[in-house]
Structure 1
Amino acid sequence: MNKKKEIFKAIKKGEDSCAIIHQNYLKDKDNYNPEFDIVRECFKGFNYDANRAQRIIDSIKKTLENFYPFLDQAKESPQGGFTFESTDIIRELDLLLLNPYYSDFEFMDDITSTLMKLKDESNGSQIIKILNDEIDSSLKDCEVILIDGQPAMSVLTRFANSQTFISRDLGVRFNSILGSIGLDNGKFRISQYTQQFTKSRRLPSKSSHSYLLKCGIGIKIINRNWKINSSFYEQFKDSNSYWNNFCAATTSIRIPDVFNDFNPGETFDNSLSTGNLIHDANFARFYLSNDIGIAVLSTFVVGNNDPTILMNNLMTGFENDAKITDFSKLTIKTATDKNLTNSIFYSSQYKSFSTSEDGGNEVFTNSSSFIGNNVYNRGYTKSRYTNQFSYVKNSILFQEVFNSRDNVNNKLPWTAKDMIILTNGICGSACAMISQHLSELNGVLTVAIGGYENAPLSFSSFPGGQSFNNLQLLSSLHQIGLISDERSPKPFEVDAFFNFPIFEIYSFKNNLQVLEFSYRTADRRLFYDEKSIRDPITSPPK
C-alpha cells in the first residue's frame, strides 16, 4: 500500500484516467480513439521519484561515459553545413535533476529530448503541399500556407530542429518530417522514416493543429486532431495495471522500434508504373526505365531469414538487369533504412586498426587492460583504442555465396561512371557506410533529393559502425562477470531503453576524419514534384 502511494497520485474513484481509457475502449473496440487530454492525464498520473530519477541518470551517464565513442566530439562545434548544437550531454543530464518535476512522465520525456538534442534555426521559401489526407481526399496537392497561424516553413523547420534526431543535417531532418514513398515489406507505402510531423511517437504538446490551405484559387481552413492508436487497450484496466504492464521494470527484453511501431498504411503500388519491373526480391526491386536500370534497395536486414537466400535474391536482380539489351546505366536508390548490414557490400578494403597477435580470448577485467596504450587522433580529439578486437561478421559466409554461384566469374557490365546513388539523405548506419564507400573509393556520383532549396544536402546520415542498446549492454556485462562492477550501469527501475553507437567509422582518404561528424553533401540535387513524389520510378524528380 505504501508503494502505491509513492507511485500513484491521489486518484478519486471514477477519476482514474487510465481506467477511463479502458472503459471507453470496451464500449467501441473497433473505432475507439481516446481523447488527447485523457491520455495525457493517464501518463501524468505517476509521481516523480527523485531518488529513482537519480539512479536512472547515473545509469545513463555510466553507459555514455564508458561506451559512447562520440562523448568528447559531441562537445565540439559542428562542421560547417551541419545544423545542431554542440552538447555536453553529461552536464545536460545532471541539470535535469534540478527541475521540479511533478510526474514521472515529464522526467522521462525530458530525458528523451536531451538524448536527441538538436537545436538551431534555418529559413526556407519552398512550397509545402499535401501528399495525402485520410479525412478529405480533395485536399491532395493543396498548398499549406499557415500551420497554427504561423508560416508553414517556419513551423516545420523549428520542428525539424527540435523534435527529430535522424541526422545532423537539417535538410535531411526536414525530409524526415514530410511524406515520401518507400519500399516496405514488398509494398510501396509512405516510408516509416518520414512524415514525422503528422505521425508522432511521443505525446505531442497540443491536441490538434490548424492549417490554412490554398486549393486552386480557393482558401480552406481545416483542423486536425491527433488520432491516438494503440493495440494494448486490453492489457490494462486502470493506473495500477498500466504501471505494472508498461512502466515497471521487467526482465523480459521488449524493445519497440521507434520508427516501425505503426500499422502499415495505404499502399501506392497501384499508382506506380510497374510495367518495367524486372525482378521483385521483396526487400528490393529492379526496374528498367529507357536505358537506365534502377535498383530500389529497401533493407538488408537479415532477421530470421537465411542470409544466403537474401544474397542470392539480390544478386539475381542485378544479373537480370544486366541481361537487358542496351541497359547502359544503373541507379541505386537507397532506402530510408537505418538497419542495414554492410556485409552485403563487404570489401577486403574494410579499414580497421591492426590487431594484436597476443590478444587471446581471456576475459578483460577493466577498460585499460582491454584498450592498452594505443592513442589515435579522432578528428581533433586524442583517444585511446583497442587492437584486441576484429570485426568480420558475415563476410566469410557471403564470400561463400558469391563463389557458389554459376556465373561467379562473369563481371556485371557497369563501372563507377555508369552508376549513381539516389537518396533523400535518410540513409543511415550501414547504408551510409555503403554509399560513403562507393562515393569515396569508387567515385560513384551521388544525388540527393529534397531538403532546402538554398542549401546543399547530405546523401547519408549517422555512419556509425554498430548500434547497441542498454539491454544488450547489460546482458554482455552479465556474461563476462562485470555486471556488479561499480563502474557498470545498473538496470533501469522502469521499463525503458536507449540506443547508442559503439563503433566509429573513418574516411579512407583522411584517417583523421570521423564520418559521423563529417558534412558530406551530394554531387547533384533533385526536388520532388506532384508526380515524382507518388511515382518515383518513371517520374523522376526535377
Structure 2
Amino acid sequence: MKLLPSNPNSTGYKVTAAVLLFLSATSSPAFAAAKAKDDPCAAIAKKTTASFSEAKACLEHFSFDQDTADQTLETIRSVTNELYVFNEIAASPPDIEGLAIVPVNISHGLDVIQNQKWGSDRAFQDAVALLLDKVQDAHLVYAPFCYRQFIFWQPIQLNSLIRNRRLVVNVAYVKDDIWPEAKKSWVGCEVTHIDDREAIDMVVDYAVNNNGESKDVNTCYNNIMNTKSYFHGWDDGADDLGYHRFLPAQEIHAYKLRCLKKGTKPTDEDYDEPFTVKVPWVAEVPQGFSDADSYWQSYCQSSYASSSPFGKRNAAWTEGTSDELKRIHEGQAFDLAPTGNSNDAGTSADGRYMKFIELDEKVGVIDIQSFSVDMQDRAEFAANFTAGLEKFEKNGIEKIILDLSQNGGGDACAGEYIINSFFNSTPDYMSDVKYSPFLERVIEKAYDEQSTKWYDYRSESHPSQASPDWYTETVTYKRGGQDVKFSQPITLSCDSWDAGVQKQYQNTRWKGSDLLILSDGRCGSTCAIVASRLRLSHKVPALGFGGIRGNRMQYASFPGGESERLSGFLMDLQSLGLENDPDAPSPFPERADMGWTFREVYRPIENKKSMGDERHLLEYSANFADCRLYFDDDNADDVQVLWKQVAKIVLDGECPLLADSQ
C-alpha cells in the first residue's frame, strides 16, 4: 500500500520566489551532506535498508509535544469510555479457565501516560499503542502511522515444530536480502537459546506478554511465529517475533543454533557443534521522504492540525481532514508493504477471498482467506462460493475442510452467507451495543436520514421495524462489577448485501459432521463468530493446529462482535452533520487511526433471562478445539501436506465432537 503524496497546493502552502531561491541554493551536494549530518532522517533517505540505530535516530528525532499528547489522549478517552463495549469488563475481567486475561484499566493507564514526560513523540505514541494492546482484544488498537512506516526484520525468521515428540524453535527461512551475512544453510537448524534463555521459554514468554491478538496463549504463540508457506498476509506486524512495524526493544539478539550433520534427517538428531549468531534488526526504509521535515509531512502531519511540523498543533476540521480520513480508512497509510512471505494458498483463480481444492475423490478444502469483501465484489464472492460447492457436489466430495486459519474477519454478512449456504439459516446470536447519549444522537440521526451503518440494525424482537427504539430503550447489566447501560438485543440487517446475490446454494448433501473447521486460532472477528456458530449451533467439529504442546487451544480469537475504526466513524459523523457535536471524538492531531469493539456477541443462550450475563460473552469464553495437530518438518513448508494430514484425520474419524465445556 502506498500513502498518497502530500500536495502542497491543496494544503494551502504558497511557494514564493524567495523559497524557490532557497531551495535552489540548498540543493548542492555539500549542503545535502551537511543536512544529513544534522538530520538523522536525511541521512537514510532514499536508502533501501538502514541499521537499527539509524532508523531509531530518525524516529526519535521528533520531540514530544504536550498539546499533541493531550489531544490524542482526549480522543482515545472519548472512544474507550463512551463507545468501547468492553471498557469496564477489561478493568475487572472474569477468571476463565483456558484463557490468559490480564486486567487493564484503560482510563488509569491513560492517566499514567499523560502524567509522564516522554523523551520523544515516538515513545509516547508507542506507549499508547501498547496500553490498548494489553487488553488482548485485537479489535482495540491504536496505530500511529507516523511510526509505522519502517519495517523491522530479523534476518532469521522462526517457526515452531514438533520434532521427535519435542516442541522446538526452528529456522524457517533467512532474509539474506536485507542481511548478507545470513546463510541459507541455517534453514532447518534448531534454535536452542535466544539471548541466553532457552528458546521455547523466551518465545512463550514473548507470546504471553507482548502479543495482544488473543486471550488464548496458543493463538498468540502461533501469531508471533512466521511460518513461510502458511501466511495469508495479515499486515498487523505489531507483535511478530521477527517482523515489527514499531521500533524493537533492542538492536541485537543472540541465537544459539544447532544444525543437523550433512546427510542426516531431523529424526536422527545428529548435530554439528552448536554455534551462536548475533543477529541485528534491519529496517526497510520508506521512500517518500528526503529529510525530517518531509518525513513529518508525508507520514505524520495531520490535516487536523497546523501546517508546522514542530510548532503548536491547532486543531481545525478542514476539507483536507475528510480526504485524509478517507485515505486512512481505505488502507493508504503505509509507504511499505511487507515482503518475504509467500503462500500458494493466498492467491487463487477464484479470487483473493477463497479457494476450493479437491484433495482426492472424497475430501475437499475451502480455504477462506478473508471476509473483508469489497462492496463491488459481493455478488462475485457469493457466486464463487456457490459455484465451488456445486462443483464439490458434482464431483462427489464427501467431506469438507473449512480452513479458516489466519482469517482476520471482515463483513459479517459475508459470514452469514457462508453459514446459510450449508445450513439454510442459523439463529442470530444475541448482541447489543453500549449506551451513550452521544451515540443515541448519532443513531437517531441515522434513522432519520436512513444512512450510514447505524441504520442497518434492528431490534431482535421486531426485526422488520426500522426504529432506533432498540437503542433508546436501555437495559442495565453488571460489567466488571459496574452497572453499565446497553441497548436492547439487536440483529444486523443483511438486506442490502443479499440484494446483490443471484443464488443461494441449497445444501442437501453435507451434515455438520461432514465438515471440519481447521484453525490455527487466528480466526478473528467475523471469522470467529462464523466458526463459533458452526461449532456451537451446527456441531461442526474444530481442529486446532500449532501452538504450545500440552494444553488445549481455541479455534477462534477476538470473537467479541463488531468493530469500528475512528476514520470510518468520523466520516459517518460528517455525513450526518454531527462532526461538531460537543461529545464527538476529534480526529487525531497526528496521522493515526484506532479501532474498537462496539457490538458484543453472546454464546447461544437458552434462557433469555441470562441475557447480559458477562459469563456468556463470546469474547470472554473459552472455545476449545475438539482435536489437535502440530506443525512438523513436512507440513510447515507445504500447506498441501497439512491439508492431506487433516484429510486423513477426517476420514479416519479421529476428530469427534467433544462435549461443550460451557
TM-score normalised by structure 1 residue count: 0.83
Task: State the distance in 1 between where 2:129 and 2:497 align.
Answer: 39
Kept in 2, the 8 Å contact 1:176–1:193? The answer is no
SS in 1 for 2:355: strand
Task: State the distance in 2 between where 1:180 and 1:16 align.
Answer: 38
Kept in 1, the 8 Å contact 2:560–2:619? The answer is yes
Q: Which among 366, 380, 384 is matched to residue 295 of structure 1?
A: 366
Task: State the distance in 2 between where 1:60 and 1:182 align.
Answer: 37
Amino acid at match of 2:340: G
Task: State the distance in 1 between where 2:73 and 2:132 align.
Answer: 11
Task: State the distance in 2 between where 1:334 and 1:484 align.
Answer: 41
Partner of 1:344: 414
Change (3 A) 1:412 1:199: farther
Kept in 1, the 8 Å contact 2:525–2:559? The answer is yes
Structure 1 residue 344: Cα displacement: 2.8
Structure 1 residue 538: Cα displacement: 3.1
Partner of 1:249: 302
Kept in 2, the 8 Å contact 1:130–1:141? The answer is yes
Q: Which among 494, 502, 511 is matched to residue 590 of structure 2?
A: 494
SS in 1 for 2:409: coil
**Do residues 526 (structure 1) and 629 (structure 2) align?**
yes
Change (3 A) 1:514 1:104: same
Task: State the distance in 1 between where 2:573 and 2:527 align.
Answer: 29
Partner of 1:133: 174
Structure 1 residue 336: Cα displacement: 0.7
Matches within 5 A, 1:201-350: 201-216=245-260, 217-218=271-272, 219-230=274-285, 232-233=286-287, 235-250=288-303, 251=321, 252-253=324-325, 254-255=327-328, 256=331, 262-269=337-344, 280-290=350-360, 291-303=362-374, 305-325=376-396, 327-346=397-416, 347=425, 349-350=427-428
Structure 1 residue 444: Cα displacement: 0.7
Residue segments in structure 2 that go unaligned for 5+ positions in a row: 1-33, 137-161, 177-182, 261-270, 304-320, 417-424, 434-442, 455-467, 650-662
SS in 2 for 1:498: strand
Kept in 1, the 8 Å contact 2:543–2:629? The answer is yes
Task: State the distance in 1 between where 2:398 and 2:558 align.
Answer: 32
Kept in 2, the 8 Å contact 1:339–1:430? The answer is yes
Higher helix share: 2
Partner of 1:9: none
Partner of 2:524: 428
Q: Which among 484, 491, 504 is matched to residue 580 of structure 2?
A: 484
Amino acid at match of 1:116: D
Amino acid at match of 1:430: T
Partner of 1:19: 42
Matches within 5 A, 1:3-18: 14-18=37-41
Partner of 1:173: 220
Kept in 2, the 8 Å contact 1:34–1:228? The answer is yes
Matches within 5 A, 1:118-197: 126-135=167-176, 136-180=183-227, 196-197=240-241
Greater length-normalized contact order (CA 8 Å, ≥ 6 residues apart): 2
Could you give the per-residue CA deviations for residues 71-102 of structure 1, whole angstroms, max 9, x where no partner exists?
11101234222113111111101111122212
Structure 1 residue 352: Cα displacement: 4.5
Task: State the distance in 2 between where 1:153 and 1:458 align.
Answer: 20
Q: How many residues were matched structurally?
A: 499
Kept in 2, the 8 Å contact 1:179–1:190? The answer is no
Could you give the per-residue CA deviations for residues 418-441 of structure 1, whole angstroms, max 9, x where no partner exists?
111010000001000100000110
SS in 1 for 2:632: coil
Partner of 2:55: 39
Structure 1 residue 464: Cα displacement: 3.0
Structure 1 residue 117: Cα displacement: 0.9
Change (3 A) 1:529 1:134: same
Residue segments in structure 1 that go unaligned for 5+ positions in a row: 1-11
Amino acid at match of 1:263: P
Amino acid at match of 1:170: V
Could you give the per-residue CA deviations for residues 254-304 of structure 1, whole angstroms, max 9, x where no partner exists?
4358999633435354xx9x9xx9x84543222233422221111132226
Task: State the distance in 1 between where 2:226 and 2:334 align.
Answer: 14
Kept in 2, the 8 Å contact 1:299–1:335? The answer is no
Kept in 2, the 8 Å contact 1:43–1:105? The answer is yes
Kept in 2, the 8 Å contact 1:181–1:190? The answer is no
Could you give the per-residue CA deviations for residues 324-362 of structure 1, whole angstroms, max 9, x where no partner exists?
24x32211111312133232342452234799xx98933
**Do residues 60 (structure 1) and 76 (structure 2) align?**
yes
Matches within 5 A, 1:28-107: 32-77=48-93, 78-107=95-124
Task: State the distance in 1 between where 2:100 and 2:624 align.
Answer: 13
Change (3 A) 1:380 1:302: same
Task: State the distance in 1 between where 2:636 and 2:333 align.
Answer: 24
Kept in 2, the 8 Å contact 1:459–1:520? The answer is yes
Task: State the distance in 2 between where 1:443 and 1:380 align.
Answer: 34
**Do residues 443 (structure 1) and 539 (structure 2) align?**
yes
Change (3 A) 1:379 1:491: closer
Q: Which among 492, 496, 512 is matched to residue 391 of structure 1?
A: 492
Which stretch has the larger CA shift, 411-420 or 301-310? 301-310
Partner of 2:599: 503
SS in 2 for 1:267: coil
Structure 1 residue 445: Cα displacement: 0.5
Kept in 2, the 8 Å contact 1:201–1:258? The answer is no
Task: State the distance in 2 between where 1:321 and 1:483 align.
Answer: 50
Structure 1 residue 400: Cα displacement: 4.2
Task: State the distance in 1 between where 2:638 and 2:247 align.
Answer: 32
Amino acid at match of 2:172: L
Partner of 2:13: none
Could you give the per-residue CA deviations for residues 342-392 of structure 1, whole angstroms, max 9, x where no partner exists?
32342452234799xx9893389xx99953333356697653223497521
Identity %: 23
Kept in 1, the 8 Å contact 2:430–2:603? The answer is no
**Do residues 362 (structure 1) and 415 (structure 2) align?**
no
Change (3 A) 1:181 1:316: farther
Which stretch has the larger CA shift, 245-254 or 67-76? 245-254
SS in 2 for 1:343: helix
Change (3 A) 1:209 1:359: closer
SS in 2 for 1:295: strand
SS in 2 for 1:504: strand
